[in-house]
A and B are shown apart, each in its own frame.
Chain A
Amino acid sequence: MAAVMPPPPLTTRPTATVTEAPRAQPGRTGMWIAIATISMSFAALTSAMVVRQSGAPDWRHFHLPSILYANTAVLLISSLTLEWARRRSAAALSVTLGLGLLFVAGQITAWRELSAQGLFLATAASSSFFYVFTALHGLHVMGGLGAVGYLLQRRLVAGRVAPTTFAATALYWHFMAVLWLYLLVLLVARV
């Protein structure tokens, strides 16, 4: 086929133009991408919960342990202290780290309260989802704590933290708080 076609005429040389390179902030971009992914995972679990709840008559409602509300307050405050830490205070970073650990401890306490009532992972679909949601969120929080710990170590050892590193960590940590608020509302409404 190609042989019978006349070769296309050569057009003249297009002129060269140059645009600026994008302002590179891969840390921030990467963090937003991570946030999008994590949100998608929790959205999938949410839809799974809705389907599972409406699909069978065996859904069992139970009272959420009230310590969850205290934990929520702790996590929100830790977001604030991280903002204070932005202005180079190592103390505020340590407080954030402490509050984060307190949140994790609080969540574990909530689990213990539930299991004391006989509600385990496999007891009912509602408790299954409760444990899955809180455990996955908790794991992500612990990842964030690792990052906050790294910031603290940098600030104590090297004296400074790269602002982009701080910004990416802060973004993640605030997202953890937002995600938890969402999960709390979901659990209050459904469980």
Chain B
Amino acid sequence: MILEVRELVVRYGQATALDGVSLEVGEGEMVALVGPNGAGKTTLLNTISGLIRPASGSIRTAGRVVQVPEGRQLFGDMTVEDNLRLGAWRVRDRNLSHIYELFPPLSEMRRRRAYTLSGGEQQMVAVGRALMGGPQLLAVDELSLGLAPLVVQNLAEHVVRLNRESGMAVLLVEQNARLALDICARAYVLEAGRLAMAGQSAELRRSPAVQAAYLGGAVGEGEAVRAPATSPRTAGGGEGGGTAP
């Protein structure tokens, strides 16, 4: 296991955001975490990233976990290159060439300030910045948030390829359950701070409850990626990420 979360409880003051959540990600595995807005998905990732201290429970990691945060959270007034380089703060290697190979458009934008990029380009920077941290587990929070379907598809393909080619494990948090279940073998469903369901994506996709709540009724054949049903949240930086002057 690269990540083992046991009976995690997280509170914001009096409010309980996570109530006994257990979850695992194996080496090289792609796991989805789906659930409605406010379920506690971001809280879980931030606790795994060490930004929030849990009230109880345990988190064990066997390797570096790096997060692609919700809303991208770029250093908006800094250049693309600076954003990527800062991703390597924990590690020694600041060579960016593999990121530019993965996302060729970024190499032409390296001198541009991050807030001037389109949403999809910003998400590439956010993923690239996380990759610079040399993750064994990439935790992506709302990859599809506010992006056009084609852009989401392209980004999702990149993440899948990274997983296949370098064996990097992925924990994909998504409100777009269809996308998440399509590209991840296993999934957890989080509702109001508790795990409602867990299992193989194929099984979950057949479950009437999941279909009703997250897939909008019947599963559309061949429709791999769908725009998120909810409008993008702007909390904590929103589109621009960071503080644009």
Partners in one complex: no
Q: Which B residues fall within an 8 A CB radius of A?
A: none
